[in-house]
Amino acid sequence: MADDILYSVRNLTVDYKTRGGIVHAVDNVSLDIRRGEILGLVGESGCGKSTFGKALMRLHDGPASIPNGELWFDGQDLMKVPMKDMPAIRGADIGMVFQDPMTSLNPVQSIMEHLTETIQTHEPKVSDAAAHARAEDLVERLGIRHERLKEYPHQMSGGMRQRVMISLALALRAKLVIADEPTTSLDVIVEAKFLDLLKELQEEFNLTILLITHNIGVVAEVCDRVAVMYAAKMVEVGSVEAVFADPKHPYTQGLLRSVPNIKLDEGDLYKMGGEPPSLLHPPTGCRFHPRCPKAMDICSREEPAFESVAGEQLASCWLYQKADGKQKVTNG
Amino acid sequence: MARKSAETKKDSSSRIATSGQDLVEVKNLVKHFPVSTGLIASLVNRGNIPSVKAVDGVSFTIRRGEVFGLAGESGSGKSTIGRLVLRLYEVTSGQVIFDGIDLKTLSAENMRRMRSRMQIVFQDPLASLNPRMTLGQAIEDPAQIHMPELSSDERHQRVLNILHAVGMNPPESFYNLYPHQISGGQRQRIVLARALITHPELIIADEPIAMADVSVRSILLDLMMKMKKEFDLTYLFITHDLATAKYVCDRIGILYLGKMCEMGDLHEVYDHPLHPYTQALMAAVPVPDPLQRRTTKMPEGEIPNPINPPSGCRFHPRCPLAKEICSQEEPVMRELRPGHTVACHFAEQFLPK
């Protein structure tokens, strides 16, 4: 594994048992997360992006399971780590920020208690005083006055609560923060400020962030690279500049064209036909073929490989591949 | 139509002369929600119960056939205004005049009849549909209430026609399905169909596409615009998303903490935003282009508590331009360009030269 890759996911599949049968919510997906980058993971509801994010911490339970896949985090395959050792990695090495901070925070714990508990659970030798000092430093850095540490979650605004969430992820100096729709419940101005904060943290702490979102604008605003999922499959990955300027997969093309742009003087939005398929009975071949304006014969029969289409831009689409099975070099 | 003119005649006593082009006129609308406090607190504060000033003196008109947008952050009062226009809430003070009739003067029975002329579409279609009613029953329900003169066959046919109009084809195959059996985008089509079945004149669309996926949103917006043409509709389009508003609204009002701060033709407001809040709001909208990243700084703080809103201009604690007068004197709406009004003491500096 190259040194600049912090997390390398290989052929990850996540299954859910449902009454209708087994659903592959994430189906044979590979993705590299580079050190120090903000990687945006986008897709529509049900595409598997949140399941993917949770699987990176092996945070799946109940009807979910991971039948195959490798999760190489910082040189170690997390799939081989005994489940009882996972809690030590969660929080300490990989932090998570969820969409709704109100349901993620304990309503009867002050913010200070949240932070000291997090620090002392993972680092039991840290004294109360030292934990307090660390908590104060951290929240000040995130734009929360340290006097507010004694407050409870309900006393804070939505934006402040989301800052507390990120402070919890940073309290143990996590190398990777997985942020699942962190700004979706925030108003635009608060969202913009939170995104500014993410960028600052990325630079200051050399933080690596996987930003899971359905908001294409947010990706364009803060991400270095973007990964696009459709119906449990990865369809395209590349730098934001490349993907936004020249999206290769017809799904990415349609998705980007249907996003309203406040700065463009265009009359109409692009309308992509159809809706995402049910994962219980996904279409054969390329899963996008029933909606694809460029679908060819082969698209309904065979699944395209996920490979380089232009340098570090990867896509899984027959438009750029030959059916003879000869694969181009993949270097993403 | 015969039924409608009869009804208007009945209400003629309360008719107010308005210019024929305005369908809705909202005058000085105020809605305060009292905050329930404990017994002791209410005894101590007798006669002085705190209230959330959700809407605090908002005026605007919606012209026949236009899409009027109301935009603002959460807590701005935009949804409350939508419900006040339908009289789903009673106003604290002020007037909502629909087609010349002050809704406050209508009896409950006449208000109920009036509602066949105005319908609402909410954000969450699953919450708006009864899970135990088939799609056909759900759509037919308003027709049963408002069009008792139709035979059941006529009503059934009407439902099928409307299903066809909103793109649920073939209509027969959807009639007997339940809401959980269709997708989110289709559910919102059903909600729209139900709103259209009485052939209303005004549709209040409260974040109608906020829950839909990106690829479905543009299709729903397009459908709403098609329906507008087909059914001669007027929309009050409530949204937090200024980028989406751009594609549908003719005019727009920007709300902040229960007050209108700017209003005008959409392109006029977007091209020349005169209020610092509108400017901040527009700058904050993420642009789907990595080469156009935002560099402007965002205003401090978050939207304040509507129980004790700031004095003077409500935006002054967060405003980068605030001067002393802003905390003392409330700015009034002034028309600085034709049809473009703004409530800011210092808006002149942003007028295009």
Task: Calculate the CA A131 to chain-centre distance.
Answer: 29
Locate the chain B residue with the closest alpha carbon to A158. B302
Contact between chains at A188 and B216 (C-beta distance less than 8 A): no
**Tens digit of pLDDT for each residue in A244-262?**
999 999 999 999 999 999 8
**pLDDT higher than threshold 50 for residue B266:** yes
- By Cβ distance, the residue of B280, B288, B299 closest to A217 is B288
Quote the domain boundaries for residue A33. 5-93+172-320
A157 lies in some domain: no
Structure tokens at B33: 């929600």
**Tens digit of pLDDT for each residue in A14-31?**
999 988 899 999 999 999
pTM across the whole model? 0.88
**Tens digit of pLDDT for each residue in A159-187?**
889 889 989 988 888 999 999 999 888 88
Name the pLDDT band for B46 (thresholds 50, 70, 90).
Answer: low
Contact between chains at A221 and B287 (C-beta distance less than 8 A): yes
In this predicted structure, what is the pLDDT of residue B60?
97
Count of structural domains, chain A: 1
Sign of CA dihedral A200, A203, A206, A207: positive
pLDDT-above-70 percentage for chain B: 93
The CATH number assigned to the domain holding A22 equals 3.40.50.300
A60 lies in some domain: yes
Contact between chains at B241 and A44 (C-beta distance less than 8 A): no
User: Checking DSSP bridges between strand A208-213 and strand A176-180, what pairing results, if any?
Assistant: parallel
Contact between chains at A261 and B287 (C-beta distance less than 8 A): yes
Locate the chain A residue with the closest alpha carbon to B220. A271
Locate the chain A residue with the closest alpha carbon to B288. A217
In this predicted structure, what is the pLDDT of residue B6?
40
**Nearby residues of A91 by Cβ (< 8 Å), 6 or more positions away:** A118, A121, A122, A168, A169, A172, A174
Contact between chains at A188 and B285 (C-beta distance less than 8 A): yes
Contact between chains at B185 and A44 (C-beta distance less than 8 A): no
- Cβ contacts of B213 on chain A, cutoff 8 Å: 44-45, 214, 275-276
In this predicted structure, what is the pLDDT of residue B15?
54
Contact between chains at A189 and B281 (C-beta distance less than 8 A): yes
**Tens digit of pLDDT for each residue in B17-29?**
555 789 999 999 9
Contact between chains at A221 and B221 (C-beta distance less than 8 A): no
A188-205 helix and A158-170 helix, angle to the nearest 10 degrees = 20
Torsion of CA A61, A62, A64, A69, to 10 degrees: 40
Q: Where are the domains of chain B?
A: 2-36+44-350
Higher pLDDT, B215 or B81: B81
**pLDDT higher than threshold 80 for residue B3:** no
Give B211 to chain A, closest Cα distance, Å: 10
A143 lies in some domain: no
- By Cβ distance, the residue of B221, B283, B299 closest to A269 is B221
Average pLDDT of chain B is 90
First to last CA, chain B: 50
Once rounded to an integer, what is the mean pLDDT over residues A207-236? 96
Contact between chains at A192 and B283 (C-beta distance less than 8 A): yes
**pLDDT higher than threshold 50 for residue B156:** yes
Taking any CB pair shorter than 8 Å as contact, residues of chain A touching chain B are 44-45, 157-160, 187-193, 195-196, 214-221, 223, 240-241, 244-245, 254-256, 258-263, 268-272, 275-276
| C-alpha–C-alpha distance, residues B136 and B130, integer Å | 11
**Tens digit of pLDDT for each residue in A103-158?**
889 999 999 999 999 999 999 999 999 999 999 988 988 888 888 999 999 988 88
**Tens digit of pLDDT for each residue in B6-18?**
444 444 444 555 5
Give B72 to chain A, closest Cα distance, Å: 9
Structure tokens at A180: 């699942």
Task: State whether residue B40 sits within 8 Å of chain A by CB.
Answer: no
Contact between chains at A269 and B240 (C-beta distance less than 8 A): no
Q: Per residue in B142-174, is it b (16+ CB within 10 Å) or e — as a string? A: bbeebbeeeeeeebeebbbebbebbbbeebeeb
Once rounded to an integer, what is the mean pLDDT over residues A290-297? 95
A100 lies in some domain: no
Alpha-carbon distances, residue B56 vs A52, A234, B53, B61, B81 (angstroms):
46, 49, 6, 16, 10
How many A/B residue pairs have CB atoms within 8 Å? Answer: 126
Contact between chains at A262 and B303 (C-beta distance less than 8 A): no
Contact between chains at B242 and A188 (C-beta distance less than 8 A): yes
Task: State whether residue B214 sits within 8 Å of chain A by CB.
Answer: yes
Identify the CA nearest to A45 among candidates A188, A282, A232. Answer: A232
Task: State whether residue B281 sits within 8 Å of chain A by CB.
Answer: yes
Give domain B2-36+44-350's CATH architecture.
3-Layer(aba) Sandwich (3.40)
In this predicted structure, what is the pLDDT of residue B1?
38
A154 lies in some domain: no
Task: State whether residue B295 sits within 8 Å of chain A by CB.
Answer: no
A126 lies in some domain: no
Locate the chain B residue with the closest alpha carbon to A266. B247
| C-alpha–C-alpha distance, residues A70 and A78, integer Å | 7
Identify the CA nearest to A111 among candidates A142, A137, A148. Answer: A148
A147 lies in some domain: no
Q: Per residue in A95-131, is it b (16+ CB within 10 Å) or e — as a string? A: bbbbbbbeebbeeeebbbebbbebbeebeeeeeeeeb
Torsion of CA B251, B256, B259, B260, to 10 degrees: -20
In this predicted structure, what is the pLDDT of residue A61?
78
In this predicted structure, what is the pLDDT of residue A145?
87
**Tens digit of pLDDT for each residue in B268-288?**
999 999 999 999 999 999 999
**Tens digit of pLDDT for each residue in A91-100?**
889 999 988 8
Higher pLDDT, B14 or B113: B113
Contact between chains at B213 and A276 (C-beta distance less than 8 A): yes
**DSSP bridge pairs for A72:** A8, A77
| C-alpha–C-alpha distance, residues A227 and A332, integer Å | 12
Once rounded to an integer, what is the mean pLDDT over residues A295-311? 94
In this predicted structure, what is the pLDDT of residue B278?
96
Locate the chain B residue with the closest alpha carbon to A219. B288
- By Cβ distance, the residue of B183, B283, B302 closest to A275 is B183
Q: Identify residue B90 by its one-letter amino acid code.
A: E
- Cβ contacts of A157 on chain B, cutoff 8 Å: 302
Give A47 to chain B, closest Cα distance, Å: 11
- By Cβ distance, the residue of B213, B288, B298 closest to A192 is B298
Locate the chain A residue with the closest alpha carbon to B278. A189
Q: Which of A102, A230, A271, A279 to mutate to test the interface with B (most CBs of B within 10 A)?
A: A271
